[in-house]
Amino acid sequence: MEIDYEKIGLKVGLEIHQQLDTSTKLFCNCEPKLFKEEPEITFLRRLRPTQSELGQIDPAAYFEFQKGLRILYEAERATSCLVEMDEEPPHPLNRQAVEITLTAALLMNAEPVDEIHVMRKAVIDGSNTTGFQRTCVIALHGEVKVGQKTVPILHVSLEEDAARKTGEEEGNIIHYRIDRLGIPLIEVATAPVIKSPTEAKEVALAIGGVLRATGKAKRGLGTIRQDLNISITDGGLVEIKGVQELELLPLVVKYEVQRQLGLVKISEELRARGMGEDIIEKEFFNVTDVFKQTKCRVLCKALEKNQQILALKLPKFRDIIKQELMPGFRLGTEMADRARFWGRVGGIFHTDELPAYGITADEVEKLGEAVEAEDQDAVVFVADNSENAEDALEAVVERAREAIKGVPDETRAPKPDGTTRYMRPRPGAARMYPETDIPPIQITEDDVERISSKLPELPKQKLERLMKEYKLNKKLAGQVLDSKYSLLFETIVKESKVSSTTVAAFLTETLKALKRDRVEIDKISEYQFRKVFGKIGAGELVKEALPDIIDWLSKNENKGVQEAIENLGLKIMSEIELRALIGKVIEENRKLIQEHHEDSFGILMSIVMNKLRGRVNAALVSKILKEKLKVAE
Amino acid sequence: MNEKERLSGYKGEALAAIRKAEVEIGDLIRITRNSEIHEGILIPRSEYGDKKHVIIKLKSGYNIGIRITPNTKIERTGKGTKPTFTQPPSLKQNPKLPKIAIISTGGTIASRVDYRTGAVRPALTASDLYSVVPELTKIAQLDAQILFSLLSENITPKHWTEMAKAVSNHILKGVDGVVIAHGTDTMGYTAAALTFSLQSLPVPVILVGSQRSADRPSSDAATNLIGAVVAAAKVPFAEVSVAMHESTSDSSIILHRGAKVRKCHTSRRDAFKSVNASSLARVQEQRIIMLTEKYRKRDLTRKLDLKPEFNEKVALVKFYPGMNPAIVDWYVKKEYRGIILEGTGLGHVGSFFYEAIRNAVEHNVVVGMTSQCIWGRVGMNVYGQGRDLLALGVIALEDMLPETATVKLMWIFGQTRDVEEAKTLLKTNVAGEISSRTLAEK
């Protein structure tokens, strides 16, 4: 079924988070890099929700705290210092990051603030060792052009990236690695003016292009993350946090709309059945006895551990829980997500999906009797220790009551297939207070003027210039533009006099192919690229030698281009040597030439090239071979 | 400038603009400059901020500063609302739990944040403490007292006297333990001072502070406070000690002996270390793990011996290469009673210092030697330089911390005017400040 997004009143706002490629982190002098090895340092912390003056604390955060949640932080000395460990006050705001953000802001016609004030935004899920994220607005009221449409930018901010979760939660301990903590992030927030799934991607692409135009956007998976807030007229305001792949955006929006429409329908259906929120009672039945002889493996395991099976009656919910909202996702999934979050249980069972999983029709009937369920009712049950089981069922009651109301406002996390799962309730108004450890920074008119005067080109302008100035076709120009070597491209072409198409094709297609073959391109410095092309331009090396040289350099990190050439034996062959070699090849293949006449050229060419790939210029081989063949005939 | 304006922190052009617009902190305002319009709540300016910018909190929660120029216009669009803080219901004290007095001297061991203005409000009463750190209700009955609100670097020996007296009052009332909340910078000095002035303690006196302010979710304040209250309620010893994080983790609180503790890091949670001594005990999961067998046992029938007087005419002098000995002459001229030297290595100063020291000793100034190495014991018989100093009348102070020695000599001259008695006392282990054995670090 095609959805008329206009008609259902879809409104999407985007928040793009892009890591910046600065030399140090935002509030300390650590290298903004991740590590893969085992951590050198670990430490255990708790985060206590601070009460605001109004006595409010984030309910989800407080719940986690009460449950005794502990965070095990992992660190390594090369990428973290005491600042990330929250053991030393932050250093002043990284100026380079401010300048990059200002550049991006001015490219989007935003108005820089006169004085930057760093704020603390309370986040106590463990992703920040301090319990807050440091963030500041750099500019307000910008815009980006997407096709014919002007999308308003609410603000351009600069913030510290959070620690990253590693591994699963075990026994109330979650693991976070603090290498990522403190990497500068630009945040660009649009007004909720996006009206369709595809438009979400187009806007994200446009903003991503502007950010990359600064030349200082980090690249690779996880360096750009999109948050979406999505609402439809009769639905709720749902925030989806941390979509990493651009391609996924339209799907995420589409599924979320489907989910909200499905929930609206469920709400209507329940009300038609005469349901009110107060009809669902928080009454839990111990039905452990019903399953004493069960063949269901999950339940057996729980019973072995002496856990209980608690059940809850959901009046008039029969056949509602199994209604599909997104692919493979039902109201039951939503209830299970909540039960997992609040009750820390593995999952829930509900009668809409039974008998199954080894649970018999007889057991389902007895279960119904035990909770006095009637025909139209559904029963949800869960096996765990009594505290977890009760918390889980309470969460199910809460979710069932919300189902009667419609779509709950909440924060969700994306899954790789574009569907989403419950993450936590939507936080109230942003709880921010000043970061008093960092003095405010003034942005003067001179600063703005200086940066405005040397703004990089916007993607569209640059594309046109690349095509015109370097005679690249649109595809190749686009590839250069999107690549992180777009600046290097121009430098190389200007320095080396190698043909622009050769340089462009190498920096985009060849490197991509090498990367696919697991050559670690990132280990090659820009200087090395320039040097290699310099040699090609000077006729000391042929372009065919490029892949081998790059491969060798990536494996011999501290070695230079000259050493690569020598080690690989790629030193260009002199014309005299080449003539001799070709003469020898002709001599060896006399018979072949006599049989094939003109057609033998191709065969001989490939024989010579195979022997000498990377050491000779193909055009020269062809010329000499043709001459010699003429003589030989 | 009236009081309200002073509190706003605004000066110069910014203050003039606010005055002209007749707006106050907390008001909703609109600032227009050329085509730019900003709306938000007027926020106070830090006292170190410049005179040109006005700060507002945007609807998004962010603060920004806006420069005041001749064509900037401010207007009020809404009246500010006072934060309506509803006092949490006072929690019932459980009469079965130990009675613990909490004396606050400054810093904020517990506080809440006003997200509207960014102000941090300390929790000061017992019920405030309970509501911010609810775990305390299950550990003790609290009696909270605010003695001072001082940054710890503003604390002087006069405050030590007041603190000792306050502790004594609570002990006379029959508490099971006393907790003193203290800024960390000089907490080590206060701990030493109380160790000397509160002798023959019947119950423990625990000093506690925090290295991360209490308004942060990651603050060590609550964990340290809980640890201190648990210690005051449960430890088997009756001594003055400091309760702080044992490591960078929140897993355990360590109790250091009052005369043997020093702040050894500017910012880490585990900044306090026991020097030349084992720590007393560890608090983990609200249980006490003793780390030494030598301690004075808790005994409610024991009578406290309060000796709260200090004499401030004692100086701590750190020696460095090329130091001008005239500083010692100055102290003598100013009628100082004692000088604690923080010498190099085993307890040395350059021979160019001898004359000044001889002069001080001749003027009846007590001169004691400690080491700037912090760890270890002075050994003044090893080198000629040390023996010379001993011959001049310098007293070797064993493994006493320089800070503790200074506090001790202040306390001694609070008790006696007799120089010979003072010298004897300085050399005697009065309250665990000198240990006879130096053990290998664990």
Q: What's the pLDDT tens digit per position in B15-52?
A: 888 888 888 888 899 999 888 899 998 888 876 778 89
Residues 6+ apart with CB under 8 A from B74: B17, B18, B20, B21, B23, B29, B30, B31, B54
Nearest CA of chain B to the CA of A76: how many Å?
15
In B372-431, the residues whose Cβ lies within 8 Å of chain A are none
In a domain, B437, yes or no: no
The SS3 assignment for B348 reads strand
Pick from B86, B113, B248: which is nearest to A43 by CB? Answer: B248
Mean pLDDT of A78-95: 95
Distance from the Cα of A116 to chain B's closest Cα (Å) equals 6
| Rounded Cα–Cα distance for residues B230 and A585 (Å) | 92
pLDDT for position B149: 81
| Mean local confidence (pLDDT), A596-623 | 78
How far A289 CA sits from the closest chain B CA (Å)? 37
Interface check B249 vs A, CB under 8 A: yes
The CA-based diameter of chain B, rounded to the nearest angstrom, is 82
Pair B324, B373: CB distance under 8 Å: no
Closest partner residue to A45 (CB to CB) among B120, B215, B218 is B218
The one-letter amino acid code at A362 reads D
Q: How confident is the model at residue B229 (pLDDT cuts 50, 70, 90)?
A: very high
Among B224, B209, B234, B246, residue whose Cα is nearest residue B288: B234
Domain end marker among B20, B46, B78 = B78
DSSP B69: -
Cβ contact, residue pair A87, B62, below 8 Å: no
pLDDT of A51 over the 70 cut = no
Percent of chain A topping pLDDT 70: 96
Task: Give A543's pLDDT tier (boundaries 50, 70, 90).
Answer: confident
Give dist(CA B204, CA B213) in Å, integer. Answer: 25
Q: What's the rounded mean pLDDT across residues A237-246? A: 91
Interface test with A, best of B36, B113, B116 (most A CBs within 10 A): B113
Which residue does chain A place closest to B110, by CA atoms? A50
Q: What percent of chain B has pLDDT over 70?
A: 90
Number of residue pairs across A and B with CB atoms under 8 Å?
Answer: 147
- Asked whether residue B327 falls in the same domain as residue B297, the answer is no
Query: Is residue B94 included in any domain, yes or no?
Result: no
List of chain B residues whose C-beta atoms are within 8 Å of the C-beta of residue A127: none
What is the mean pLDDT of the segment spanning B238-257? 97
In this prediction, residue B61 has a pLDDT band, given cuts at 50, 70 and 90, of: confident
Render pLDDT for A154-167 as a digit per residue (tens, 0 to 9): 999 999 999 999 98
d(CA A174, CA A128): 13
| In chain A, residues 540-569 whose CB comes closer than 8 Å to chain B | none
SS3 (DSSP) at B290: strand
Q: Does residue B433 lie within any of the structural domains?
A: no
CB distance from B212 to chain A under 8 Å? yes
Per-residue pLDDT, B158: 97
Judge: B215–A433 Cβ closer than 8 Å, yes or no.
yes
CATH assignment at residue B381: 3.40.50.40
B65:A86 CB<8 A:
no
Look at residues A296, A204, A198 and name the one whose alpha carbon lies nearest to residue A253: A198
Domain tally, chain B: 3
- The predicted model gives B200-225 an average pLDDT of 92
Highest-confidence segment of A125-129, A514-518, B291-295, B314-318: B314-318
**B17 in any annotated domain:** yes
Binding-face residues of A in 79-108 toward B, CB within 8 A: 82, 85-89
Closest to B375 measured CA to CA, from B319, B281, B438: B438
User: Does the beta carbon of B38 lie under 8 angstroms from any beta carbon of chain A?
Assistant: yes
Inter-chain CB proximity B64 and A432 less than 8 Å: no
- pLDDT for B259-276, tens place per residue? 999 999 999 999 999 999
**Who among A115, A120, A140 is closest to B53 (CB)?**
A115
Q: Give the residue among B305, B281, B288, B315 at the shortest CA–CA distance from B403.
A: B315
User: Which pTM value belongs to this model?
Assistant: 0.84
Closest-CA distance, B217 to chain A, in angstroms, reads: 5
Residue B120 has pLDDT above 80, yes or no: no
Regarding whether B162 and B280 lie in a shared domain, the answer is yes
Residue A89 has pLDDT above 70, yes or no: yes
Decide if pLDDT at B81 tops 70: no
Note whether B107 and B54 are same-domain residues: no
Q: Which of B15, B48, B78 delimits the end of a domain?
A: B78
B36 touches chain A (CB under 8 A): yes
Q: What is the pLDDT of residue A554?
A: 83
Element (H, E) at B13: helix B12-21
Interface contact flag, B60 A137, Cβ < 8 Å:
yes
Q: Looking at chain A, how many residues does it have? A: 633
User: Is B353 among the domain residues?
Assistant: yes
Closest in B112, B251, B267 to A87, CB measured: B267
Q: Which of residues 305-334 of B touch A (CB under 8 A)?
A: none
* Interface residue of A54, A73, A93 to substitute, partner B, most B CBs within 10 Å: A54
Chain B CB contacts of A124 under 8 Å are: 217
- The conformation of residue A506, written as its DSSP 8-state character, comes to I
My answer on whether B195 and B107 are in the same domain is yes
Average pLDDT, chain B: 90
User: Residues 6 or more apart from B317 whose CB is under 8 A from it?
Assistant: B327, B328, B331, B339, B340, B341, B342
A432 CB near a chain B CB, below 8 Å?
yes
Residue A251, pLDDT score = 94
Residues B341-357 have pLDDT tens digits of 999 999 999 999 999 99
Answer yes or no: do B60 and A155 touch at CB < 8 A: yes
My answer on whether B162 and B268 are in the same domain is yes
* pLDDT value, residue A626: 82
Query: Do the chains contact at A117 and B64, CB–CB below 8 Å?
Result: yes
> Which of A43, A82, A157 is nearest residue B249 as measured by Cβ atoms?
A43
Cβ separation B248–A436 shorter than 8 A:
no
pLDDT of residue B162: 97
Q: Which residue of A has its CA nearest to B54?
A: A115
Tally Cβ neighbours within 10 Å of residue A120: 26
A129 at B interface, C-beta within 8 A: yes
Tell me whether B61 touches chain A (CB under 8 Å). yes
Looking at the domain assignment, is residue B435 inside a domain?
no
Beta strands in A400-558 (DSSP E): 410-414, 420-425, 432-434, 441-442
pLDDT of residue A510: 86
pLDDT, chain A, mean? 87
| CA–CA separation, A295 and A359 (whole Å) | 7
Domain of residue B409 covers 314-427
A86 and B60 within 8 Å at the Cβ level: the answer is: no
Domain A273-405 sits in CATH 3.40.50.20: no
With H, G, I as helix, E, B as strand and everything else as coil, classify residue A154: strand
Say if B250 is an interface residue toward chain A (CB within 8 Å): yes
Lowest-pLDDT range, A50-54, A517-521, B41-45, B302-306?
A: A50-54
Q: What's the pLDDT at A58?
A: 64
CATH number of the domain encompassing residue B168: 3.40.50.1170
Residue B88 DSSP symbol: P
Question: With bands split at pLDDT 50, 70 and 90, how would you rate the model's confidence at B116?
Answer: low
pLDDT at A45: 95
Q: Do B328 and B301 fall into the same domain?
A: no
Q: Which residues contact A10 (CB under 8 A, 6 or more apart)?
A: A194, A195, A196, A230, A231, A232, A253, A257
Best mutation target among A28, A40, A50, A138 (most B Cβ atoms within 10 Å) is A50
pLDDT band at B89 (very low <50, low <70, confident <90, very high): low
Name which of B48, B88, B111 is nearest A55 (Cβ-Cβ): B88
Record: contact A87-B268, CB cut-off 8 A: yes
**Active site residues per annotation of B:** 108, 184-185, 263
What is the CATH number for B41?
Answer: 2.30.30.520
Residue B385 and residue B277 share a domain: no
> Residue A330: which of A348, A312, A343, A356 has the closest Cα?
A348
Looking at the domain assignment, is residue B241 inside a domain? yes
Is the pLDDT at A122 greater than 70? The verdict is yes
Examine the domain organization and report whether B120 and B250 are in the same domain: yes
DSSP class of residue A194 equals B
Q: Chain B contact for A181, CB < 8 A? A: no
Judging by DSSP bridges, how do beta strands A173-177 and A70-75 pair with one another? Answer: parallel
Residue of B nearest to A90 (CA): B267
Domain assignment of residue B440, yes or no: no
In which element (H, E) is residue A381 found? strand A378-384
Backbone angles phi, psi at A50, to 5 degrees: -85, 140
pLDDT band at B111 (very low <50, low <70, confident <90, very high): low
Are B223 and B262 within one domain? yes
- Note the pLDDT of residue A102: 96
Cβ-based neighbour number of residue A547 at 10 Å = 17
Instruction: Kindly report each contact of residues B383-392 with a partner whose C-beta sits within 8 Å and lies 24 or more positions away, as own/partner.
Output: B383/B346, B383/B348, B385/B348, B385/B349, B385/B351, B386/B346, B386/B347, B386/B348, B388/B351, B388/B354, B389/B347, B389/B348, B389/B349, B389/B354, B389/B357, B392/B354, B392/B357, B392/B358, B392/B361, B392/B367
Q: Is A172 on the interface with B (CB under 8 A)?
A: no
Contacts of residue B241, Cβ cutoff 8 Å, sequence gap at least 6: B191, B204, B205, B206, B207, B231, B255, B256, B257, B258, B261, B280
How many Cβ atoms are within 10 Å of A436's Cβ, its own excluded?
14
Return the residue matching tokens 């430490």: A43
